[in-house]
Structure 1
Amino acid sequence: MEEKEENSVVGNGVVQRYWFWGSASAVQFWWGVAALKRGYAGNGNLMPLKAFTVASLFVGASTSAAVATLQLSGIRSVEDLKSVGANIRNSCKTTR
């Protein structure tokens, strides 16, 4: 059986457990913007590698932000996500 982990919440309501996902997202996004602004000066044969690297930084930043959002909202498993979806569908049915 799996034990449920509890978040450590500070008095002001900030969750302290998964802060690194948000930090990773911010750093990757900043690094991607810096690499994009810097441009490319060098051998033209390596330009596709630079473009792939910058795109990977933006994809990684969005993925880290999504994980941070899911973790902070309390969604820890697929079952949690299914129950949230079921609640949204039920609330949409009752409003019509």
Structure 2
Amino acid sequence: MAGGWAKDGAEQEQIERTLDDAVERARSQLPRGESRRHCEECDAEIPEARRLAVPGVRLCINCQNEQDKKQSNVSVYNRRGSKDSQLR
């Protein structure tokens, strides 16, 4: 139920836009092109099995894990906001 100036169904539209943004962001981060034989970060050899499994791979497993940890610390914007912020 939308309230205030929002039209009916506005919550669902917000949810769909948030999901669409997340999918687009994930797709933009997928590797493309030919896989590298050596890691861009540490120059370690990337195993053939990894190159075949992940087309366009650029990092070895260790460097990829480090990059994934750094990216997981980044928060995404919540369009809906928290109830606390709306009450202030």
TM-score by length of 2: 0.34
Does 1 or 2 have the higher relative contact order (CA < 8 Å, sep 6+)? 1
- TM-score, normalised to structure 1's length? 0.33
Instruction: Looking at secondary structure, tell me which structure has more helix per residue.
Output: 1
